[in-house]
Structure 1
Amino acid sequence: MLNFVTTNPGKVREATAYLDDEVRQFDFDYPEVQADDLGTVAAEGARAAYRAAEGPVIVDDAGLFIDAFDGFPGPYSSYVEDTVGVERVWRMTEPEGDRAAAFKTVIAYCDGEDFAATPDPVDRAERRGQDLAADDRGAATTDEQVREGDASGETLPVKLFEGRVPGEIVSPRGEGGFGFDPVFEHDGTTFAEMSTEEKNAVSHRGRALSKFAEWYGER
C-alpha cells in the first residue's frame, strides 16, 4: 500500500483517481526544510516520511510561481498567503504589467530502493547531503535530525514528478477553492470559480499524479 503523506483527505481522493485503491492517507508531520525549489522540500519530506512509515510514500509540495517576481512566492506560497494575503499579491502584480504565472506541484516518491533516472530526475540530496539516521525512524522532528545522515553514509534516492498549469494573476473571483485560487485564472476561469471536478481535471497536482501513476504502474 502506498502512503500519501498529507493531512488533507481531498488530496487522497484526487490521488485515488489515478492510483485506484493503492493509496491511503498517512498523517505525519515531517520537518519541512527551507529551500527555493519544490523538489528539495518534497524530497526531504519523503525521506523523513519513509523512515516513519517504513514503507513506500509520496509527498507533494506546491506553489504559485509569478513571472514578474522571478517565480516568487513559489515554495513560500503558504507563508506569503498568511502574511501578505491573496488580494495584496494581485495588487502587487498589477502594476508590473506581466500577469503570467503558473501553479506547480512536485510529487516525491521514496521506497528505500534505487531508481533509473528517467522519466523524471532522482534526487539523492547531493546538494544538501541530508537524510535521516537509520535508528531515528519516525523520530525526526527538527532540521538537525534530518541532517544527521544515514548510518550507511548513503542518501535515500527520491523520484520526482512535476505538474504545471499555466495561467495569469487576476483580481479575485469565485467562492470556491483555497489559497491563491481566486486570483489564478486558467483558460478564462479562476480556480475558485471551478467545481472540484473541473479543477481536478486541469490541476497541477493531477498532472504530477498522472506522471507518477504511469511510472508507478510499470514499477
Structure 2
Amino acid sequence: MLRYVTTNPGKVREAREYLGDAVSQLDFDYTEIQAADLAPIAARGAREAYRHAEEPVLVDDAGLFVRGFDGFPGPYSAYAEDTLGVEAVRRLVDAELDDRRAEFRCVLAYCDGEPFAATPDPVDRDDRVTAAATGAERDDQETEPLPVKLFEGVVRGEIVEARGDGGFGYDPIFEYDGATLAEMDAAEKNAISHRGRALEKFGEWFVERQ
C-alpha cells in the first residue's frame, strides 16, 4: 500500500488516476521547513511521514513561480495567498512586470526506507533535519539518512486578470493555452496539471520499483 500524505482527498483521487487503488490517504501533519525550493520541503516531509507510517509514502509540495519575481511566491504560495490574496499577487505582477510568464510546479517525494538505483530523476540523500522530526538527538536507528526519490511536474503559462469560477487558489489568474485553470473543467485541468505530470513520471517509475 502506498500512502499519499495529504488532508485533501482530491489529491488522492487524482493520484489514483495514475496509480490505481493501491493509493490510500494518510492524514499526517508533517513539519514544513522553510526553503527556497520545493524539493527539500517535500523530501523532509517524506522522511518524517515514512518514520511515522513505517510504510511507503508519497508527499508533494507545489507552488506558483513568477519568472519576473525570481520565482516568488514559489514555496511561499500558500502563505502569500492567505496573507496578500490572489488578486493582490496579480496586481503586483501588473504593476511591476512586463514579463507575465509564470509556472506551476509540483515536486513529489517518495520514501520507502530503501536505497534507489541511479536514474535521471534526482535522489535526495541529505538528512540534516532528522532530529527536528522528533525534537531530540538522532538515535542509533537514524544514523543513516533515508533516501528520497523526487519527481517534478511543471505547467507553464502567464498571469492574467481573473477569469472563471472553477478551481481554487491561483487558478483564476493563471492562463494556459488561452484559458485560465478556473475556466477548465476537472478533466481538462487534470490533463495538464503540474501534479498530474509529476504523478505520471512517478507512476512509470513505481511500476518498475514494484
Q: How does 1:44-59 map to 2 (within 5 A)?
A: 44-59=44-59
SS in structure 1 at match of 2:196: helix
Runs of 5+ consecutive residues of structure 1 not aligned to the other structure: 133-142
SS in structure 1 at match of 2:104: strand
Runs of 5+ consecutive residues of structure 2 not aligned to the other structure: none
* Letter of the structure 2 residue corresponding to residue 204 of structure 1: H
Moved more, 58-67 or 94-103: 94-103
Aligned-residue offset at 1:145? 2.8
Residue 190 in 1 paired to residue 189 in 2? no
CA distance in 2, matches of 1:88, 1:44: 30
Which segments of structure 1 move beyond 3 Å, counting only runs of 4 or more? 146-150
* Letter of the structure 2 residue corresponding to residue 170 of structure 1: V
Q: How does 1:108-119 map to 2 (within 5 A)?
A: 108-119=109-120
Change (3 A) 1:144 1:42: closer
Identity %: 65
- Give CA-to-partner distance per residue, 1:146-186, whole Å, 9 cap, x none: 68445342110000000000000001111111110010000
* TM-score between both structures, scaled by the size of structure 1: 0.91
* TM-score between both structures, scaled by the size of structure 2: 0.95
* Letter of the structure 2 residue corresponding to residue 22 of structure 1: A
- Give CA-to-partner distance per residue, 1:36-78, whole Å, 9 cap, x none: 1100000000001001111000000000000010001100000
CA distance in 2, matches of 1:146, 1:199: 40
Q: Pick from 112, 125, 145 the counterpart of residue 134 of structure 2.
A: 145
Q: Is the 8 A contact 2:18 2:200 kept in 1?
A: yes
Report which of the two has the higher share of helix: 2
- Give CA-to-partner distance per residue, 1:9-43, whole Å, 9 cap, x none: 10000000100111000110001111111000000
SS in structure 2 at match of 1:20: helix
SS in structure 1 at match of 2:130: coil
Q: Is the 8 A contact 1:130 1:146 kept in 2?
A: no
Q: Is the 8 A contact 2:31 2:133 kept in 1?
A: no
* Letter of the structure 2 residue corresponding to residue 145 of structure 1: T
CA distance in 1, matches of 2:32, 2:129: 12
Question: Root-mean-square deviation (CA), in Å?
Answer: 1.4
Q: Is the 8 A contact 1:130 1:155 kept in 2?
A: no
